[in-house]
């Protein structure tokens, strides 16, 4: 049994994640009777929804609506607390002409505290063309299976009178937002736009955005949906 995947739990119960070398603590409850199968007898369960099963830089990448596994690390999406996906673009300039040289696609998902708690991170090969297909799969998976829960949890805390930090620096509270020495009441927030690797925040009556959060920061990609959930208008540039 060399392939990572969900298998009948040899310890009883539902299913347990096999990372290709050992059983992990990740379990998934099942309505089926407890399995008595030994690890060597286990057969991978059928994932519900689309599955990504490929190699990236010689390392196994697997993702489905339950989990993301890469390079020996895995995380259950229903336990993840933050997500980040972004691109890094380098340019070349010949005379007055500036053009894209390379694009690198990044995807990260994990728990807090970041860098000490479980996380899965990967960077896809550089390209001068369209976005990387496997990266797009993970982004779509996150938007469908992870981000609605994260946004709902954050919005619920704000509605209950609390303050949450999004994107490692933007404070969101019942009265408005604060970041980069800029404070805005909700009636001053005109929405957001995404450009040049940043989530820009617009102020009513101003042509240019007044502050930004780097897209690579944890949960920065949630900002437009969070504002919308709290009744703000999302601007897409």
Looking at residue 34, the DSSP 8-state letter turns out to be P
Residue 30 Cα to chain centre, angstroms: 26
Q: Name 28's Cβ contacts closer than 8 Å, sequence gap at least 6.
A: 6, 14, 15, 16, 17, 66, 76
SS3 letters across 108-127: EEECCCCCCCCEEEEEEEEE
Residue 185 falls inside a structural domain: yes
Q: Which DSSP helix (H) or strand (E) runs through 60?
A: strand 59-63
Per-residue pLDDT tens digits for 104-150:
899 999 999 888 888 999 999 776 667 789 999 999 999 999 999 99
Q: Is the dihedral of CA 118, 75, 140, 106 positive or negative?
A: positive
**Confidence band for 100, pLDDT divided at 50, 70 and 90:** low
Whether the predicted pLDDT of 40 surpasses 60: no
Range of the domain at 68: 48-145
**Domain C-terminal end among 84, 119, 145:** 145
Same domain, yes or no: 100 and 138: yes
Same domain, yes or no: 54 and 136: yes
- Model-wide pTM > 0.85: no
Per-residue pLDDT tens digits for 181-193:
999 999 999 999 9
**Domain C-terminal end among 119, 145, 171:** 145
Residue 89 Cα to chain centre, angstroms: 20
Same domain, yes or no: 60 and 98: yes
pLDDT of residue 48: 65
pLDDT of residue 10: 74
Per-residue pLDDT tens digits for 191-237:
999 998 999 999 999 999 999 999 999 999 999 999 999 986 544 44
Same domain, yes or no: 136 and 157: no
Same domain, yes or no: 128 and 193: no
Overall domain count for the chain: 3
Same domain, yes or no: 36 and 62: no
Whether the predicted pLDDT of 1 surpasses 70: no
Whether the predicted pLDDT of 32 surpasses 50: no
């Amino acid at each position: 049994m060399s392939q990572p995947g969900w298998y009948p739990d040899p310890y009883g119960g539902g299913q347990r994640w096999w990372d290709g070398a050992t059983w992990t603590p990740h379990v998934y409850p099942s309505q089926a009777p407890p399995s008595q199968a030994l690890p060597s007898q286990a057969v991978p369960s059928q994932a519900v929804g689309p599955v990504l099963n490929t190699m990236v830089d010689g390392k196994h990448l697997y993702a489905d609506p339950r989990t993301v596994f890469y390079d020996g690390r895995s995380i259950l999406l229903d336990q993840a607390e933050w997500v980040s996906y972004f691109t890094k673009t380098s340019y070349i300039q010949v005379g007055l002409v500036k053009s894209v040289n390379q694009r690198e696609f990044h995807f990260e998902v994990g728990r807090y505290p970041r860098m000490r708690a479980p996380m899965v991170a990967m960077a896809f090969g550089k390209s001068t063309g369209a976005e990387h297909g496997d990266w797009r799969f993970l982004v779509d998976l996150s938007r469908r299976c992870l981000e609605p829960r994260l946004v709902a949890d954050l919005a619920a805390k704000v509605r209950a009178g609390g303050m949450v930090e999004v994107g490692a620096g933007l404070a969101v509270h019942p009265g408005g937002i604060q970041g980069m020495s800029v404070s805005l009441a909700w009636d001053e927030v005109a929405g957001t736009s995404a450009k040049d690797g940043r989530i820009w925040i617009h102020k009513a009556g101003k042509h240019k955005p007044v502050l930004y959060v780097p897209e690579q920061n944890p949960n920065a990609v949630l900002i437009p949906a969070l504002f919308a959930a709290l009744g703000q208008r999302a601007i897409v540039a």
